[in-house]
Structure 1
Amino acid sequence: MGLLRQWASFVKRLVHVIAKPVKGDGSRGGMVVHPYRGYGSQREVFVMGRVFHQAALSRIIPRHGMLRDTADVARRILRRGLANAQVEVHIGENQLCVSTDRDGYFDVHLPISHALPIDVSWHRADILVHCPGESPIRTHVEVYVPPPETDLLIISDIDDTVMFTGVAEKLKMLYRLFVKKPHRRTAFPGVAALYQSLHRGVNGRAERPILYVSRGPWAIYEMLETFFQINRIPVGPILFLREWGISWHKPWPRRAKEHKRDLIDRMLTLYSDMPCILIGDSGQHDPEVYIEIVKAYPDRIKAIYIRRVDKDPQREAAIQRLRDQIVGTQCELVLAADSVLIAEHAHAQGHISAHGLAAVQRDVDDHRNDPA
């Protein structure tokens, strides 16, 4: 009976997680607009999102409980992206109108012809969506633009770099990713202090952009935002995600390696005057992708930090061979077993403060003394 209860609890929580993204419409159904946090510079900003239609919820369905969650899962499965919806984005005095693609996604590249205020980093983008047969919807989203004095860009993987997902253990990964509540998902010890230190810089007052890239689907966007906030990890524009929707014209998601490389190229082009640090893990393609980036931008990448997620000697030897390929550049690849080793190198290179290094050491020590 105990095992049966565990499985029942597993299914109940899984259904609730899958149902959560459709609950914001108050059960009315109709057109829904879901923008994702944007990013940009004083030259151009990027805002992505999706417009879709979902069915209304029957009044006989209770507002809470397993039946409501099951009905919302059905609504999520049946919802469809709205193609050719008109999306107007305004930020300051700048504006642009685009159409959604056939899956309902919009990707706005808005040139900045009227300068944005430089005394703030987060700007409000107002969004107005029109679609035939639907009532117009107004919403807004935050857009991050680094201050002019920003001295460093950080691009980080998430899976097995910020949080443990166990890519080598698929069932455990799915359990942690889709079933555990955000505050119970495992962040690596010292990650919060490390990323806060990188964000704040040596003087403790910088606002460096940290841009996160992941092979995960857009469906987990809200959960990851909550995870970052609860774990005190600086929340950057989460522009990492892939569309995993399966259809006859697109039966598989885009390859993670290509997705990551293209996004990093896009960010380095946008922030063309900033040096960069790349952070990833040893379990997938991060070292290989990052070495390609160093070769393409030999003067831009100051360090590659790779979290070691296994002790496979063949994988370590492969990473050592990759490290040898960038000897003579300004970049050093650091294969680290924990956040302290990364922080020590970052401090030695002048990227974080002594206070930041001490905070990382303290967090890791606290975890060792109280692993629960």
Structure 2
Amino acid sequence: MGISSRLASARGALRAVTARSQTDRPHWAARIEDVKNTVVGGSLRRLHWDLRLQPFHGFGSGARVRVLAKVLYASPGTPADFHDQPVHDMRTMAVRGWRNFAGQVAPHRTVHVLLGDHQFTVRADRSGIVDAELEVELPPGDHQAVLWTVPGNEVTADITVVSDEAEVGLVSDIDDTVMVTWLPRPLLAFWNAFVVHQSSRQVVPGMPMLYQRLAREHPAMPVFYLSTGAWNVFPVLKRFLYRNGYPDGPLLLTDWGPTNTGFFRSGPEHKHRALEQLAREFPTLRWILIGDDGQHDPSIYAEFAARHPEQVDSVLIRRLTEPEQLLAHGTLRPRELSSQRRDTPITLSAPDGHGLLSELERTGKISS
């Protein structure tokens, strides 16, 4: 190789390193958030605030389990399990949504996990989120993991291990699919998340019955709720799903706030990434994908089905009313459903769960 070629190669390598370092460097808003977390966290430690864990619903296969939680500061004397309240305790429903966003996260903390006879040590990320995949063999069914940062603040996290006998899984959107929130519009997102009483959220008619019917049709079917909502509202959503008779299952939410690339995480990217992870984790399952036509669910599901046609059983889309369409994206017309190709799974749509159930019966996807 000549001198000029080597110089060109060196310049290319330097540009690649520079571009990579610029991409890896957090957005300025994220750097400000990191400074805020450091300053506020230091002040709370001087006031003798303690670390507490908020457990989320994890899941796994027979050989691997995904454990999810969040590390937060709490005032002295706060019970270790203050976030781990039973979903059937309806007294916790009547609170304003803003209280779920008032906590201070504790980034990069070490968390210990006891799962079965195995103990692991994991670490929270810059947002205080623990998202760890652990190599451990557990039988199918419901389990509990014990998590703690120091002895005395142990909490338990639900873990669902999917059976090898399961052939079908269900992935459901939340906002405007199982509950009416009109969340995508910024003003209404603020109103629903921070102001409205949690007990006032409305269920989409017929959806609980549809999910229960699918669960009876496929007894081993795991259910995942996939949303662009923040982890802060996990307890709210869990109690809403329980109160309205939806099947229990893990929630796949995201973290609000700045990232390496901008002020907020991309909702569609979060859903794409979560679906791909489920496809890798459970390669033998065929998925029933349920969403609405107010935002990006039809295109996200269509793209996933095009990449994994053998892993999609059907796509069910709830059609929003005209007022809901207007609040969702500013027009009365729905987002255009992807055209049905012969090699893609069947796509059905209806205004509510009753209509979707009728469509499934009409097409023979479930027995009438």
Query: TM-score normalised to the size of structure 2?
Result: 0.72
Change over 3 Å in CA distance of 1:127–1:350 after alignment to 2:
farther
User: Is the contact made by 1:182 and 1:224 (CA closer than 8 Å) also made in structure 2?
Assistant: no
Match of 1:93 in 2: 117
Matched, 1:224 2:246: no
SS in 1 for 2:127: coil
Decide which of 190, 211, 219 is 2:206's aligned counterpart: 190
Contact 2:295–2:335 (Cα < 8 Å) also in 1: no
**Given that residues 55 and 79 in structure 1 are in contact (C-alpha distance below 8 angstroms), is that contact kept between their aligned partners in structure 2?**
no
Q: Which has the higher contact order (CA 8 A, sep 6+)?
A: 2
Aligned-partner Cα distance in 2 for 1:146–1:317: 34
Letter in 1 for 2:117: E
- Establish whether residue 201 from structure 1 lines up as the match of residue 213 from structure 2: no
Q: How does 1:1-372 map to 2 (within 5 A)?
A: 29-56=49-76, 77=102, 79-83=104-108, 85-112=109-136, 115-118=137-140, 121-130=141-150, 137-167=153-183, 170-201=186-217, 206-239=219-252, 241-246=253-258, 252-311=263-322, 315-316=333-334, 318-319=336-337, 322-324=338-340, 327-348=341-362, 351-354=365-368
Instruction: Tell me the alpha carbon deviations over residues 274-310 of structure 1, each in whole angstroms, 9 at most, x when there is no partner.
Output: 1111111111111111111011101111211111114
- CA contact under 8 A between 1:154 and 1:209: conserved in structure 2? yes
Deviates more, 1:263-272 or 1:343-352: 343-352
| One-letter code aligned to 2:143 | H
Q: What is the SS of the residue equivalent to 2:138? A: coil
Unaligned runs of 5+ in 1: 1-26, 59-68, 355-372
Question: Does the Cα contact within 8 Å between 2:61 and 2:282 map onto a contact in 1?
Answer: yes
Q: Is the 8 A contact 1:54 1:76 kept in 2?
A: no
Give the total of aligned pairs. 298
Between the aligned partners of 1:323 and 1:351, the Cα distance in structure 2 is 20
Shift, 1:96, TM fit: 2.4
CA 1:317/1:52 → structure 2, altered by over 3 Å: closer, same or farther? closer
Cα drift, residue 210 of structure 1: 1.0
TM-superposed CA distance for 1:109, in Å, is 0.2
Letter in 2 for 1:297: H
Cα deviation digits, residues 111-135 of structure 1 (max 9, x gap): 12xx4234xx2111122324xxxx6
Structure 2: runs of 5+ lacking an equivalent: 1-46, 79-94, 326-330
Using a 3 Å threshold, how does the CA distance of structure 1 residues 28 and 179 change in structure 2: closer, same or farther? farther
Alpha carbons 1:323, 1:332 under 8 Å: kept: no
Change (3 A) 1:250 1:174: same
Give TM-score, length-normalised by structure 1.
0.72
Aligned sequence identity (%): 28
Q: CA deviation at 1:252?
A: 1.7
